[in-house]
Structure 1
Amino acid sequence: MQTVNFKHFPLQAGETVLDLGCGEGRHVILAYLEGDVISIGVDLSLEDLRTTRDKAQAFLQPGNAHKSFGLSAANALQLPFADNTFDKVMCSEVLEHIPDYQGALKEIERVLKPGGLFCASVPRHWPEKICWLFSEAYHQVEGGHLRIFNAGELKQQIETLGFHAFHQHWAHALHSPFWWLKCIFWKTQDSNWVIKKYHRFLVWDLMDKPVFTRTLEKILNPIMGKSVVLYFRKEAN
């Protein structure tokens, strides 16, 4: 499920790109496929990194000298990279999980080159608020969401670190009702037939990308998109 829109986050040949909190690899693999770049994913979970590695095998081009792919287990507060290493940094649906998210933002600023682009996405305030209202377990599970962001406040916090915001959009409107249903029926979600049917619908939409649902989600994203996606440029020194 792609959240970062590379139309607003264009990759140039030869760039080095970091996906911080890459999880099971959706964006780090997409970046590798999108451009002739060095695409690096970082995550704390070794299990997720193994999944990313396995998923990537079908797409890697070992003989292509213009592309490179790498993974690393690391803490977002202590990234194992020198200052000004990356041309682009993505951090999608991660900051809400990190206790010291401001420390992670400072690390992103440190490793990103002046003039480089940063994309952050977090759950949108009001759809997330509904999830918290229906289920405490939703955000109290291990590794769950620690906070609900206000997009405007987060944007201001990032800009105080020396970034300039240049674009914003919303994503995954069709996923909002799915998570509301999961929260309403949290204890029985694995056996609930409505949730199962809705999940099947989302998988079909993801795989087939029918025009109707893609158009519907595009219309609904500004109203009920589950994620808010923010784009920044690091100001030159």
Structure 2
Amino acid sequence: MIRRLIKRFMAAAQPPQIAQPEAGPVVESAPEPPFTWSPRDVGFHDAVLDGWFLNDSGELLKGFAITPEDTVLDVGCGEGGATMFAVRQGASVIFTDSEHDKVRDLARQVEAQCTRPSLGLVSDSLPLPLADGCASKVMCMEVLEHVDQPEPFMAELVRMGRPGALYLLSVPAPVGEHLQKGIAPANYYQVPNHIQIFTPERFAAMVEDAGLVIEHRQASGFFWVMGMIFFWASEKAAGQDPGGAVRDRIQAPFHPLMQGWARTWHEMLQQPDGLAIKQVLDQFMPKSQVIIARKPLDSGRVS
């Protein structure tokens, strides 16, 4: 890719050539079509390459399959992408968030598509007004970093999974968080945003101390680490304050900085070694770290 960009630059730097009469008319090539993928489109494609949203197998993430027999609890549902994936698999869903508007909007989507019982709750999750063992699958993604007391929060998650329940948990990776600390506005690391930074060791210990058995771990998302840096730069240029719900602001129309990064990443992935390069960068500077864990069959109530 770099060589191709250099060739383009060098070609543009050459003086114009005068066509000789015997060469015939100069035929101009058609312009390249405009790049129409948004940063969120590219980010979704990047996630699919990491094993997310596998519609054919019904796996939200490779190793975390959802079936019509499941009752899925999504704590901190946000925009509802994970909840709606579970709905499309025919599962019953329970979804919670601390923001009323998010729960209301997601409830409308669920009601329009879900044929099984569903429940939406506005709650900060300490505690949730749900019975012990109410869910066979529990999801809590990019939430724990916002929580003042993550260990009691984790215990509450474990309480609501039935024996044998499978958990899908994620938090930001520390490398990307520390990098953004020099670029993001200060309030991004204050309530209600990211007030916890989890090392891989701390994250795993918290999950295991709560009584779960870890089955799978992965880290990925270099695209979004860089994407957030370009987001902060574009927000500052526009004089914007990101406030509390940062990801909600990453919407069309996208700033040219973010759109340009999306195009660069998309083109890189099209190269013969694009996927291998992505995997190296994901390990070098991941955006998120993910754990799939299971509640033991003989587990009692976690207090």
1:232 aligns with 2:290: no
Q: How does 1:1-237 map to 2 (within 5 A)?
A: 1=44, 5-33=60-88, 35-56=89-110, 60-61=113-114, 64=115, 67-140=116-189, 142-183=191-232, 187-188=236-237, 196-200=255-259, 212=270, 215=275, 217-218=278-279, 220-237=281-298
Paired letter, 2:127: Q
Query: Using the alignment, how far apart are the partners of 1:114 and 1:137 within structure 2?
Result: 41
SS of residue paired to 1:134: coil
Does the aligned pair in 2 maintain the 1:44–1:75 contact within 8 Å? Answer: yes
Distance 1:55 1:198, change over 3 A: farther
State the Cα deviation string for residues 19-55 of structure 1 (Å, max 9, x = none): 100011111111111x221022101100111232345
The answer to which of 141-150 and 37-46 deviates more is 141-150
Does the aligned pair in 2 maintain the 1:135–1:186 contact within 8 Å? Answer: no
Query: Using the alignment, how far apart are the partners of 1:170 and 1:189 within structure 2?
Result: 32
RMSD: 3.1
Paired letter, 2:151: Q
Query: Using the alignment, how far apart are the partners of 1:151 and 1:91 within structure 2?
Result: 16
Cα shift at 1:184: 5.3
Cα shift at 1:140: 4.0
SS of residue paired to 1:23: coil
Distance 1:57 1:211, change over 3 A: farther
Query: Using the alignment, how far apart are the partners of 1:19 and 1:184 within structure 2?
Result: 32
Cα shift at 1:124: 0.5
Does the aligned pair in 1 maintain the 2:154–2:206 contact within 8 Å? Answer: no
How many residues were matched structurally? 227
SS of residue paired to 2:155: helix
Identity %: 24
Does the aligned pair in 2 maintain the 1:131–1:138 contact within 8 Å? Answer: no
The normalised TM-score by structure 2 is 0.65
Aligned residue in 1 for 2:41: none
State the Cα deviation string for residues 71-126 of structure 1 (Å, max 9, x = none): 11122111111111110100000000111111110100111111111111111110
Query: Using the alignment, how far apart are the partners of 1:202 and 1:8 within structure 2?
Result: 30
Query: Using the alignment, how far apart are the partners of 1:153 and 1:123 within structure 2?
Result: 12
The normalised TM-score by structure 1 is 0.82
Distance 1:211 1:185, change over 3 A: closer
SS of residue paired to 2:124: coil
State which structure, 1 or 2, has the greater radius of gyration over its C-alpha atoms.
Answer: 2
Query: Using the alignment, how far apart are the partners of 1:203 and 1:40 within structure 2?
Result: 33
Distance 1:49 1:123, change over 3 A: same
